[in-house]
Amino acid sequence: MSLSVKLKKGLDIRLKGQSEKILNPEAESIRYGVKPVDFPGLTPKLNVRVGDKVMAGSPLFHDKLKPEVLFASPVSGSVVSISRGDRRKLLEVVVEKAGDEYIDFGKADPAVISREEIIEKLLKSGLWPVVRQRPYHVVARHTDTPKAIFVSAFDSAPLAPDYNFIFDNSSESHFRTGLKALKRLTSGSLHVVVNGKSEPSGILKDTPAEIEKFSGPHPSGNVGIQIHHIDPVNKGESVWYVNPQDVIAIGRLFEEGKYRHDRIIALTGSEVIKPQYYRIRSGASIQSLIKENITAGNLRYISGNVLTGSGITADGYLGFYDSQVTIIPEGDYFEFFGWMMPGTDKFSFYKAFASKIFPRKEYILDTNFHGGERAFVMTGQYEKVVPMDIYPMQLLKAILAEDIDMMENLGIYEVAEEDFALCEYICPSKIEIQSIIRKGLDLMAREMN
């Protein structure tokens, strides 16, 4: 059964710097970084030391609590640095590329081999972490059987890449093989959710998946919102999900026997001179992408989108799950009577600025906080950007109070921090909502296991 869901709640932030549909050949990068901080809830344990030689697919570190879950090197070469932060927290493992060698994990047809063999292959190759789960929005627990698997085949975030363009430039057969493998992992359905507003790419025809259509403002492309409307997670259940480009990587693993976590990313943002698409490998440094392609000034480099991405340095590395790099200006300036000005250049969710009367097509937004942190004061605003049957403020307060029963009752199993990113953006009290949600998810994960 194919669903067609139209969402009304949400917000499209009209930023400047959408990528032109031009695909550049693979950008060469010398260094590649794998960041344990991309995987919330992970306690990493290193498998390598500085100076070790690795191949693409060699494990760099693994999950201390689930040692079968490996995190692989995206390229062959040698480990050049392992950096740690406060309390020796592992921040990144950097590999300098040399040659192009892959560990051979062996080809296989996911329709023929058993479910256990499929999972084992994904675990061994280090590709398993592309499979994530609700509850908790973490790497999926491979011993579970999910009641459904979701692939959100479009992204509604600000300046997000157009997945139809990415599909048109990707291997159809890899994508299908990937879906075939995923279909074997669940006892229920495999759902691929496409944008109801555009004609789906040819790559989506003849798949073992059920195609559902979603439309509406952001966060309609968030997989969590889609799960909530199609097959919501109840206590004790789990649903898995995979990014579309990672489905392709899974397909490639089965067809070629290689760990090649490649992707097409959109380089976006108001400070990029020529925003376009690039072929790139997961973990690549963004240095070569932005060379001579950004404006001067103090800039924020984001792996991912402006709402949920992680801030990196100008020579930082693309995040494990990201298909987008965004570059916007920093907002470290004082604004004289800024809160009193009419604000024709200020994009806002609220109708308290002149930009509501004289709207522009697109806006340049920076990283300024635009105010100080306060207690919750305004009500009824978060609800307008969370298209779920969930009370955002009540859930946040339950998390702050560490009231486990209440969190459960209010739907903590169904949410991830990304679903609340817009609440954080529009919050007049400047509360760090995504951090609170993550704190709640971590707390629940600890309590339930």
Residues 228-287, interacting with another protein (CB under 8 A): 232, 234-237
- Would you call the peptide bond into 25 cis, given omega within 30 degrees of 0 as the criterion? no
Radius of gyration of the chain (CA): 21
Q: For residue 374, state whether it binds another protein (rule: CB under 8 A).
A: yes
**How buried is residue 28: exposed, middle or buried, by Cβ count under 10 Å (0-12/13-18/19+)?**
exposed
Residues 17-46, interacting with another protein (CB under 8 A):
none
Q: For residue 312, state whether it binds another protein (rule: CB under 8 A).
A: no
**How buried is residue 62: exposed, middle or buried, by Cβ count under 10 Å (0-12/13-18/19+)?**
buried
Residues 117-156, interacting with another protein (CB under 8 A):
none
Q: Which amino acid is at 273?
A: I
Number of residues in contact with another protein, rule: CB under 8 A?
A: 73
Q: Compute the least distance from the CB of residue 428 to another protein, in Å.
A: 5
Euclidean distance between CA atoms 271 and 281, whole angstroms: 23
Q: For residue 296, state whether it binds another protein (rule: CB under 8 A).
A: no
Which one among 389, 401, 446, 447 touches another protein, defined by CB under 8 A? 389
Range in contact with another protein (rule: CB under 8 A) among 65-73, 109-117, 121-129, 300-308: 300-308
For residues 146 and 236, the answer to whether their CB atoms sit within 8 Å is no
- Which tokens hold the place of 158? 């600000």
Q: For residue 349, state whether it binds another protein (rule: CB under 8 A).
A: yes
Q: Compute the least distance from the CB of residue 355 to another protein, in Å.
A: 9
Euclidean distance between CA atoms 194 and 152, whole angstroms: 7
Residues 174-233, interacting with another protein (CB under 8 A):
232
DSSP state of 244: H
Q: For residues 72 and 388, which CB has a smaller minimum distance to another protein in the complex?
A: 388
Q: For residue 375, state whether it binds another protein (rule: CB under 8 A).
A: yes
Q: For residue 351, state whether it binds another protein (rule: CB under 8 A).
A: yes
For residues 148 and 156, the answer to whether their CB atoms sit within 8 Å is no
Of 46, 54, 102, residue with least CA distance to 78: 54
For residues 43 and 65, the answer to whether their CB atoms sit within 8 Å is yes
Q: For residues 127 and 318, which CB has a smaller minimum distance to another protein in the complex?
A: 318
Residues 315-334, interacting with another protein (CB under 8 A):
326, 328, 330-334
For residues 298 and 330, the answer to whether their CB atoms sit within 8 Å is yes
Q: For residues 99 and 342, which CB has a smaller minimum distance to another protein in the complex?
A: 342
Which one among 249, 302, 312, 318 touches another protein, defined by CB under 8 A? 302
Euclidean distance between CA atoms 201 and 194, whole angstroms: 9
Which one among 96, 391, 439, 445 touches another protein, defined by CB under 8 A? 391
Euclidean distance between CA atoms 139 and 144, whole angstroms: 12
Euclidean distance between CA atoms 270 and 365, whole angstroms: 8
Q: For residue 13, state whether it binds another protein (rule: CB under 8 A).
A: yes
Angle at 306 between CA 304 and CA 312, to 5 degrees: 55
Q: For residues 63 and 414, which CB has a smaller minimum distance to another protein in the complex?
A: 414
Which one among 23, 393, 404, 445 touches another protein, defined by CB under 8 A? 393
Q: Compute the least distance from the CB of residue 111 to another protein, in Å.
A: 27
Euclidean distance between CA atoms 317 and 285, whole angstroms: 4
Euclidean distance between CA atoms 270 and 295, whole angstroms: 9
Which one among 109, 409, 447, 448 touches another protein, defined by CB under 8 A? 409
Q: Compute the least distance from the CB of residue 336 to another protein, in Å.
A: 4
Q: Compute the least distance from the CB of residue 361 to another protein, in Å.
A: 17
Q: For residues 273 and 352, which CB has a smaller minimum distance to another protein in the complex?
A: 352
Q: Compute the least distance from the CB of residue 40 to another protein, in Å.
A: 12
